Chain A
Amino acid sequence: MIKVNGTEQDGAGKTVSELLLSENYLPERVAVEINEQILPKAEYSHTYLHDGDKIEIVSFVGGG
């Protein structure tokens, strides 16, 4: 199990890109932290998630 924005779910073995796609996030509008470390965008496609990982997906909407 992994924890995404505080909620436990299956997802170990997926890449971050796959996780974003399955959760309907747009990669160019998010910042992703794994275990409190920012993940550079270039690493989304080849970073695999492991049991116990805590993932925080911060998604931005327009307006300011």
Chain B
Amino acid sequence: MRYPTKQEMYAALEERHGKQLQEKFSQASVAICGLGGLGSNVAIHLVRAGVGKLFLLDFDQVDITNLNRQQYFPDQLGEYKTDALKHTLSRIAPYCQIMTKCVKLNEQNIPELLAEFPIICEAFDKPEQKAMLVNTVLEKLPETFLIASSGMAGLDTPNTIRTRKITPKFYLCGDEENGIESGIGLISARVAVCAAHQATTILRIISGENSA
């Protein structure tokens, strides 16, 4: 089998999505903070759509307990998630520009690391970290689109997972209730529903179709 060229892959995306939309996707850049069940799924959706540039941030390594829902493989155990996910993404979309940073984000480094990205996806797992990132981005980077998440644990109906536009630049995906604190853990299928909400919202923002 001959490996496809950049032009061939772009033409195939254009055929599916249309010329105008694909141009927007390919010129977009998105930062994904946290590469667990949400972030790894969001990243895969975005590169499949042909988003041109991703910045992946996480400090953690792939653990055996991640494999129930995160997009990693047993042969990647112990690798940094930034490296492991970059490798997987490069197999899906070899011509996507993928930057990584193995770092724990905090109030001080968020503005300097993320300032150049017009869209930020919050995909952490701990509620205090989620709140910290959201507060910091809303305060320090007010021009940035922020797509955050809260509530996707357990096996309640997936229909309660939704996307809420809180302010013109701040979106929240999830059921806003079911956390890991409440008992049942995180099940891949329901986490993926939330990740798909986040990814769809990001693509809608890129397309300019984000009025509601």
* Interface set of A (CB-CB < 8 Å, partner B): 26, 28-31, 33, 36, 38, 40-41, 56, 58-64
Taking a contact as CB atoms closer than 8 A, the residue among A26, A36, A59, A64 that contacts B149 in the complex is A64
Contact (Cβ within 8 A) A63 B151: yes
A-binding segment of B14-22, B108-116, B122-130, B201-209: B122-130
Cross-chain pairs A/B with CB under 8 angstroms, 20 sampled: A29-B131, A31-B134, A36-B167, A41-B135, A56-B166, A56-B167, A58-B148, A58-B166, A58-B172, A60-B150, A61-B177, A62-B125, A62-B181, A63-B125, A63-B152, A63-B178, A63-B186, A64-B34, A64-B37, A64-B38
Q: How far is the CA of A59 from the CA of B124 in the complex (A)?
A: 14
17 A-B pairs besides A29-B130, A63-B125 with CB distance below 8 A are A28-B128, A28-B131, A30-B131, A31-B138, A33-B166, A33-B167, A38-B135, A41-B135, A56-B166, A59-B176, A60-B127, A60-B131, A61-B127, A61-B176, A61-B182, A63-B151, A63-B153
Q: How far is the CB of A13 from chain B (nearest CB, A)?
A: 25
- Chain B residue contacts of A36, Cβ below 8 A: 167
Q: How far is the CA of A26 from the CA of B181 in the complex (A)?
A: 14
- Chain A residue contacts of B158, Cβ below 8 A: none
Contact (Cβ within 8 A) B125 A38: no
State the main secondary structure of chain B at its contact with A: mixed
- Chain B residue contacts of A31, Cβ below 8 A: 131, 134-135, 138
Residues of chain B at interface, number, CB under 8 A? 36
Q: How far is the CA of A56 from the CA of B176 in the complex (A)?
A: 13
Q: Mark B144-186, 1 if CB is under 8 A from A, else 0.
A: 0000111111000000000000110000100011111110001
- Chain A residue contacts of B180, Cβ below 8 A: 61-63
Q: How far is the CA of A40 from the CA of B139 in the complex (A)?
A: 7
Closest 3 pairs between A and B when the two form their complex, measured CB to CB: A61-B179, A64-B125, A38-B138
Q: How far is the CB of B7 from chain A (nearest CB, A)?
A: 37
- Chain A residue contacts of B52, Cβ below 8 A: none
- Chain A residue contacts of B138, Cβ below 8 A: 31, 33, 38
- Chain A residue contacts of B50, Cβ below 8 A: none
Q: Please, which residue of chain A has its CB at the minimum distance from the CB of B152?
A: A63
Q: How far is the CA of A63 from the CA of B166 in the complex (A)?
A: 20
Could you tell me which residues of chain B, from 48 to 65, have a CB within 8 Å of some CB in chain A?
none
Contact (Cβ within 8 A) B153 A61: yes
